[in-house]
Amino acid sequence: MGKVALVTGGTRGIGAAISVGLKKAGYTVASTYAGHVEAATKFSEEHGVSVFRWDVAHPEECAAGIADVEAKLGPVEILVNNAGITRDATLHKMTFDQWSAVIRTNLDSMFTMTRPVIEGMRARNFGRIINISSINGQKGQAGQTNYSAAKAGIIGFTKALAQENAKKGITVNAICPGYIDTDMVRAVPPQILDSIIATIPVGRLGKPEEVADLVTYLASESAAFITGSVLTINGAQYIANG
């Protein structure tokens, strides 16, 4: 069995592509999901990936879930923090519940998922933590103050954690995808989707597999000198400074 890779939100969209990509690369993959039981079951059966159900916003569920994964598969050596939700609204119409739900799932999960595995990684002098942020965490997006704030927070979390653990053989990096060809994006009305694609210089949506390939590289031994980095994958829709 290969190193154990744990992917949150790993049964649909970008997360599913990451799970499949890591499995093809030889890792033993565990994918989490919070809902959509039928989709998760189908994904597991089709790809031979172990799936586990818990809510990444709840620390107790994460601690128990990770303990279950490690008991069944072995210590988690690669963690991909991918799970995320949206509750879009302009701030003057946003409720606190909409704000809090996104912050808890998208940002608090950096702590609830990473805290239970970081000590083991430090003890073994090896770890790969890959956090999925977003183009909207870099440039902001109207109607997504909650989402943009959470995804920007992931970037700060990544840079600080990388510094704390660099001498322990643990790399921590963030990936900021732009608009990726997933069911969620394809659900956007065609005229709006066309207007989005028109702002992407390469003239198309990204592919989930392209994000997965980047994750797989960052998880590998070849990426041992890459840490604290924020990598964009958006077809030049937004070019970050530095």
* Phi, psi (degrees; rounded to nearest 5) at 35: -140, -160
Structure tokens at 130: 């890959």
CA-derived radius of gyration, the chain: 17
Q: Which residues contact 200 (CB under 8 A, 6 or more apart)?
A: 178, 179, 234, 235, 236, 237
Structure tokens at 38: 């039928």
| Rounded distance between C-alpha atoms, residue 181 and residue 209, angstroms | 10
Q: Residue 153: how many CA atoms within 13 Å on its side-chain side?
A: 16
Q: Which of 35, 34, 53, 31 is nearest to 43 (CA)?
A: 31
| Rounded distance between C-alpha atoms, residue 50 and residue 28, angstroms | 9
Q: How does strand 127-132 pair with strand 4-7?
A: unpaired
Do 77 and 70 touch, CB atoms closer than 8 A?
no
Residue 217 bears catalytic tag: no
Do 177 and 234 touch, CB atoms closer than 8 A?
yes
Catalytic residue among 33, 147, 217, 238: 147
Active site residue ranges: 147
